Amino acid sequence: MRLTEEHHGLAAESLAAKIWKHIPAACAFILLACQTAVPWTVPHFVTTDGPSHLYGATVARDLVFNHKHSIYSALYTIQRSVIPNWLTTVVLAATSALAGTAHAEQFFASLSILAGFFGLSYLSRALGPEKSPWSPVMNFAVQTSYLWAGFYNFYLGMVLLPWLIGFHIRSIGRLNFSRALVIAIGLVGLFFTHLIAAVLAITTTVAIAGWVWITGAARNGRSDPARAIAQRASAYLGLTELGLVLLAAIPTIILILIYTHSTPPATKMLEFMTDWRHFPQNTFLTGRGPAGRAAFLGPFVICFLISGALVMTRTEWRSARGGLLIATVIAFLCYMLVPDSGFGGAYAKGRFGWAVFILGCPLAASVARLRLVRTPIALCVAFFMFQSLEATGREERLLSNAVLPYLSATSQIPPRASLIRLNYATPATAALHRYVGNAGSPFLHLDSYAAATGYDVNLTDYEQLTELFPVVFKKSIREMRYQLWGFEESGPAAETLLPWIESGLPRPVDFVLVFGDENFPGSITQGMPSTLRYLDVHMQLIATSSDSLLRVYRRNGFVPGPAGH
């Protein structure tokens, strides 16, 4: 009887131990299901820059597959210069074809979250093959404002980055020309996704290969003569693999030099103490309140990363983990030292700040001594993550409701029409619709969403005007792109620019969208009242949003074209 009781007791303890062991994985996958579902909980998934990416992908797909009959072929062409930002256009074109243009961004967001979670877990498994890689820490690392703000190129590049690093780590000790070729292709692919992702990939792979070579990770403890031979062989192997990694990086380095040669130099000076105190800036701002800005979870994960670095064993330090930690420190130094306008873009500091977590979370999760508290850490992160997701979902609902009046007004625009958007000051929109805003206004490029879903031409979409994306204007109308770009924050005399712009276009401007608060002093200074008076005389007002912020004007004599694509 006593043996039976002891047997049942051991079985119960074994079952409890198994359940305790699998809690991190269960929490991670429940969180993952919630994360991928959030974009689908609202009728309109609203981001700041996402609509422009969607419009660019719509134009690119139509130019490639329907060029002869495309409404875009008279105005746009495919970029022929060496630029990043290609892969998002391709993926959005695919998701648009699969899920429809109205749901393409939702599909893209869910796929990107999945790619990020499994990529980080793959990297963690590459570092520690003997342990489960599933952890809510990976869910936190992909729960960032860059996705919800519509910075799709950067977000996609960063969530693909761990896949390449993980492949490199798994190839250590057996890296050959074929595997180096895969790394080279991956690096080029990351360049055509986002510049910073490519720079981080090169930095990390070189740091890991160099560290493994320097420390001689393959050393063994045999007798002195044998040990010396093994050390020399290890050093030779490490040097060979470092050479292969450098060789694989050459094509991407050339592409980066070609691209950055034409970008303007950064002008912002260093603000060391401000950057130190605000790390990692608004990287994890996805909603309202402490949960929405990860006020508790962010510092907790930072402590987790630091703890992982401090408790690494000597063996772990001499492995690829040491090189990955060096790359993580380099990413933090870039956050501190690189100007915010560095690498030809904006928010460079925050981007490198997120890189610290992309590189550091899989590293810390793989450290053996931290695995002793793996389940308590998972439960703590999961507790805060569920609150963060609730705040994110609430924010998305507010944003979706906020844009309904705008989209209701633009629904009056028929397919195959052309439009121009004039943006004026609207300081009260966030308070009016009670949203926080992740990295700008949901209305900033909402005209591009209306144009993409309605199969219309948006002459003021910023992607084609900046010429940093795959689709650009044809040479015949490039001379007016700066004037068109200026309408993003319209200034005085817009009413005099409109006739001049229209005279140089191969087709008339059918609709003008005016967004702004005409009673706000800033809008008056920008000349909004005089623009409205001009449009009231020369065009016909056909719709006004229920919040009175958007007016839609139609060209006199406009005749709708055929609705088919």
Task: Convert the pLDDT of each residue in 493-522 to its tens digit.
Answer: 677 777 877 777 888 899 999 999 888 888
Give the pLDDT of residue 491.
67
Torsion angle in degrees (nearest 10) through CA of 271, 273, 274, 280: 110
Q: Is the pLDDT of residue 259 over 70?
A: yes
Q: Which helix (H) or strand (E) holds 160?
A: helix 152-170
Interval 385-401 mean pLDDT? 92
Closest CA to 234 of 209, 247, 216, 246: 216
Least confident of 273-287, 460-474, 486-500: 486-500
| Mean pLDDT score across all residues of the chain | 87
Structural Rg of the chain based on CA atoms:
27
Question: pLDDT band for position 220 (50/70/90)?
Answer: very low
Please give the torsion angle defined by the CA atoms of residues 249, 252, 254 and 258, in that order, rounded to the nearest 10 degrees. -160
Q: Which two tokens stand for residue 298?
A: 């962010």
pLDDT exceeds 80 at position 22: yes
pLDDT for the residue numbered 519: 87
- Closest to 461 in 3D by CA, of 48, 47, 51: 51
* Close Cβ partners of 15 (under 8 Å, ≥ 6 residues apart): none
How far apart CA 312 and CA 302 sit, in angstroms, is 16
Q: DSSP label at 338?
A: S
Amino acid of residue 420: I
CA dist., res. 27 & res. 34, Å (int): 11
Collapse the DSSP code of 458 into the 3-class scheme (helix H, G, I; strand E, B; otherwise coil) and give the result.
Answer: strand
pLDDT band at residue 217 using 50, 70 and 90 as cut-offs = very low
**What is the per-residue pLDDT for 492?**
66
pLDDT digits 0-9 by tens, 48-105: 999 999 999 999 999 999 888 899 998 999 998 899 999 999 999 999 999 999 999 9
Query: Quick one: 519 exposed, middle or buried, by C-beta within 10 A (0-12, 13-18, 19+)?
Result: exposed
* Contacts with 414 (C-beta within 8 Å, 6 or more apart), sequence order: 454, 560, 561, 563
Residue 288 — pLDDT band, cuts 50, 70, 90? confident
Position 5 scores a pLDDT of 54
pLDDT of residue 555: 92
Point out the least confidently predicted range of 194-203, 228-237, 248-257. 228-237
CA distance from start to end of the chain: 79
Report the distance separating Cα 397 and Cα 44, nearest Å: 9
CB 385 within 8 A of CB 426: no
What confidence score (pLDDT) does residue 562 get?
65
Return d(Cα 311, Cα 321) in angstroms, integer. Answer: 12
